[in-house]
Amino acid sequence: MRLSNLKTENIKLKEKELSVKSKTNNLSTIRDFIYNAAAEIGFPSGVIDNIVLAADEACTNIIKHAYKSYPEGEITVRLKYADKKFTIIIIDHGTPFKPDTVPDPDLQTYYRQHKVGGLGMYLMKSLMDEVKYVSVPGKYNQVLLSKNLNTAQ
Amino acid sequence: MAEFSTSTKDAGDINVIYLKGYLDAHTASVLENTLSDLIDKKKYSIVVNFKDLAYISSAGLGVFMAFIEKIRENNGDIKLAGMSDKVYNIFDLLGFPLLYEIFKSEDDAVKKFNETK
């Protein structure tokens, strides 16, 4: 029995999509959706956890910042798997996000201010291979997260 | 919908908060309320036990930042204990071990409080 053949057959995911309203109680639905897809591809469990967390952070930021906690916004999560690369594209129609304006996290500052900001973005950048933002003003914002199966450990 | 709950144990001077389930932007307010209640009762020596916590996102980590200065101003502390490797890695990645003492077990954290009295 050739294991390599088996593994290829197991990968059914080509493209999947999920749309939810911009409410924090939908975060677990998004996490489950991504968990199942990443598991189907065959990522090691620690890497699946990291991918799920990165996507949670992206969606949390969309709910809080793009939609400013307005619960009726739309979040679309699109998954692709091609050439060993798992790509998550998350689309919203809220306020465009300017990633350059988010400084790297500084815990000493948070300590004094009693709050945090930018942790999610730092986690996304740390946990994924690629994090890309695209905004088409008045149309949509998109964040792309990707992870390569070959380099994932 | 992900489940998250807290329970508390009053062990004399020290209060232990047990976290269970999934701590994210949706459930962070549950932990905020638990911590506020303790602070309202002037309970400032707090151990947080993570052994039944399956998941944490940055919204959950942020809760600890909201209260820590007030607690320390009152000669208290929040000590963290019992994290899985998965949860610890997130704290570590964000530099939290510089600001918080993290222990393997609840007992170790309680002992540390007792030593420093």
DSSP annotation string for A39-107 = HHHT--HHHHHHHHHHHHHHHHHIIIIISTT-TT-EEEEEEEEETTEEEEEEEE-SS---GGG-PPP-H
Q: What is the pLDDT of residue A130?
A: 96
3-state class of B25 per DSSP? coil
Q: What is the pLDDT of residue A27?
A: 98
3-state class of B79 per DSSP? strand
- Residue B95: HSE in the Cβ half-sphere, 13 Å Cα cutoff: 13
- Segment A97-113, tens digit of pLDDT: 877 777 777 777 777 77
Is the pLDDT at A9 greater than 50? The verdict is no
Residue ranges making up the domain that contains B83: 4-116
Per the CB < 8 Å rule, is A53 touching B26? no
CATH number of domain containing B22: 3.30.750.24
- What is the value of ipTM here, to two decimals? 0.93
For residue B82, which of B24, B18, B36, B25 has the smallest C-alpha distance?
A: B18
Cβ-Cβ contacts under 8 Å between A and B: the total is 74
Q: What is the pLDDT of residue B1?
A: 59
When pLDDT is cut at 50, 70 and 90, the band that residue B2 belongs to is low
Mean pLDDT of all residues in A1-8: 46
- Residues of B within 8 A of A105 (CB-CB) are 94-95
When pLDDT is cut at 50, 70 and 90, the band that residue A8 belongs to is very low
What is the DSSP-derived secondary structure letter of residue A136?
E
User: What dihedral do alpha carbons A125, B62, B3, A44 form, nearest 10°?
Assistant: 30
Please tell me if residue A60 touches chain B, with a CB cutoff of 8 Å.
yes
Of A28, A107, A115, which has the smallest distance from its Cβ to B99's Cβ? A107
Would you tell me how many other CB atoms lie within 10 Å of the CB of residue A109? Answer: 13
Q: What is the pTM assigned to this prediction? A: 0.91
- Residues of B within 8 A of A119 (CB-CB) are 58, 61-62, 94
Q: What is the pLDDT of residue A48?
A: 97
- Segment B32-42, tens digit of pLDDT: 999 999 999 99
- Segment B58-97, tens digit of pLDDT: 999 999 999 999 999 999 999 999 999 999 999 999 999 9
Is the pLDDT at A2 greater than 70? The verdict is no
Would you tell me how many other CB atoms lie within 10 Å of the CB of residue B22? Answer: 21
Would you tell me how many other CB atoms lie within 10 Å of the CB of residue A99? Answer: 14
Q: What is the pLDDT of residue A12?
A: 61
What is the DSSP-derived secondary structure letter of residue B5?
E
Total domains in chain B come to: 1
Q: Which two tokens stand for residue A26?
A: 């939908």
